[in-house]
Chain A
Amino acid sequence: MTVGEELYNQRLQRIKTAMDMGKPDRIPISLGGPSFIRYSEPEATLSDYVLRPEWADDAVIRSYAMLPEIDTAPALSGNKRTSGAMWFAKTKLPGIELPNDALWQYDEVGMMTADDYDTIINKGWGTFSKELLTRLGYSEEDLKPDFEYMKKMQKRVKEELGLVNMSGAAYIMPFEILSAARSLTKFLRDMYRMPDKVIAAMDVIADEYIASAQEHIREHKPLSVFSGNGRGGCQFLSMKKFEKFVWPYIKKTTDAFIAEGTKVLFHNDAKWDENLSYWRDFPKASCIFDPDSLTDIVKIKEVLGDYMCVTGDVPPALLELGTPEENYKYARGLIDLFGHSGFIMSSGCSVPPHAPLENIKAVIAATIEG
């Protein structure tokens, strides 16, 4: 067994225990984001990150080697040119459409039309989404993942560094994906004017997600699958609309994922304060709640703290603009709030691109102190 494999097993146990609401040997640490390229390559820009993906992946891996307390694997570069495809959006990249060190952007063009709800209902989401990506100018060739490279990098991350992937496949919930494909403004109008079509299309999407997840979970046995949510919470939607357009699909897909023997990691961007109690409908310790720092962390502890593992939630703005002392204090506060069971120390969303290494080290120090 290599040092990496030994570390991997130790970390896997730590993370699994936290996910099961138990008390691990120490609180797991999950930190990652585009800033990691700079810790080993201080002169690197975000255009390096997106335009030199193999070089960037190597730099990120070297940065993780500098921070051996982190337990979870980084999201490696992938093809950023086509990353907007996940949201049916066009992608603007630093060094091409944007300044060299700007964060990449997704331009939500709303290429899906009102008639396309029927296409989804009649032909299925898989067929329609391929058609929509073509309309957006993404070719099948561009979107094809380089499996060989990915496998090589995953092996390196696991065997050299012993880092653990917390979740497998990602499912962007039907409400979120349609609001992006159609564009938010048009989608909200559709919800008001043609709710039945919207619901029928979302039913199709949810069923296809379930079928695809079943296959994925049986083959890969991930610790969890990723459920992406952002616009469906109480920052945007009225509770009435949440109950009609958002919750039924979260519930249906999650129940099916759990039935396959995996957990579900909810990456919930924006505010969900008023929606939190719905998550108590799932079996205890079957989910992980992963907020982005906009949902009140004290409320999360109050409503879900005894029921599911929570990752939390050092705010990206604090990581990027705060001092090491402020970051240390925030992380300590999280440990005081959650204790050592069922908690994973993490950034709210990903670590932003210019977060200083000292701030990352401060969060790690607070966690290691326990």
Chain B
Amino acid sequence: MHLLLIAGFLGTGKTTFSIQVATECIRQGRKVAMLVNEIGEIGIDGQLMRELDLDVWEMSNGCICCTLAADLVPTLEKLDQEYAVDLILMEPSGAADPESILRTLVYYKGRPLESIYTVTLLDPLRLPELYEVVTPLIVTQIANANVLFANKADLATAEQLEDVQRIATEVNPDAKLLLVSARQGIDSDLLKEILPWKD
């Protein structure tokens, strides 16, 4: 079982992105579960998820400190024991810091996770503004990423994309930055880059 964490601030398009990743996995014949914790806020269409044959697990989004680990770890264990999924796509709240999510995994007692990979989505239309106001959160989200996606690239100006490049390089020069538009569809070759299987 692999874990793919999809981080990014509120409203960066994480769910649209996650659905495309999940669809690609299903197309490859893999079993996927999605863990989301903003179902109320962004209005995911549960029926749509079921039509896509995705197992959607809603996590509590109450107090960020108290509930996250308590919800995440038993859910992972249940997925491991009862559903034998190949990949868990986890979409934490946009206000969560990926580091603290990963820290809770020390309590996980199921089969060892084969890989943990973090993708962070950035919104070029708002990033400079957010970088100035919620600097620490954005820095942590970028710094913890294996790969960065500048989503909504189709709507951004050249200047906005340059800002994203500058901030990404400043914080995490090692992470690859890919420009995408989840709304318009993401090329499956790009999605394969973040999947644990290379077939």
Contacts and interface: CB of A to CB of B under 8 A. Distances in A.
Given A108-B41, A192-B129, A348-B65, A102 B136 contact: no
A321 interface: yes
A292 B65 contact: yes
A208 interface: no
A292 B40 contact: no
A189 B67 CA distance: 27
21 contacts: A33-B66, A92-B40, A103-B70, A104-B60, A105-B62, A107-B40, A108-B41, A184-B10, A184-B95, A185-B9, A192-B132, A236-B134, A237-B133, A237-B135, A238-B132, A238-B133, A316-B69, A317-B68, A318-B107, A322-B107, A352-B70
Interface in A310-325: 316-318, 320-322
Interface string B87-108: 0000000110100100010010
B66 A292 contact: yes
Contacts of B69: 316-317, 320-321
B64 A269 contact: yes
A77 interface: no
A294 B101 CA distance: 12
A32 to B, nearest CB: 12
A359 interface: no
Interface string A207-220: 00000000000000
A349 to B, nearest CB: 4
Contact residues on B (Cβ < 8 Å of other chain), bracket: 35 or more
Contacts, number: 102
B46 interface: no
A349 B66 contact: yes
A305 interface: no
Q: Tell me the dominant secondary structure on chain B's binding face.
A: helix
B63 A269 contact: yes
B73 interface: yes
Contact of B66 (A90, A106, A237, A350): A350
A321 B65 contact: no
Nearest to A99: B58
Nearest to B135: A238
Nearest to A237: B134
Contacts of B107: 317-318, 321-322
Interface of A: 33, 90, 92, 98, 102-109, 184-185, 188-189, 191-192, 230-231, 234-238, 241, 269-271, 292-294, 316-318, 320-322, 348-350, 352-354
A188 B66 contact: no
A103 B70 CA distance: 10
Nearest to B133: A188
Nearest to A103: B60
A208 to B, nearest CB: 25
B170 interface: no
Interface string B47-77: 0000000000010111111111111011000
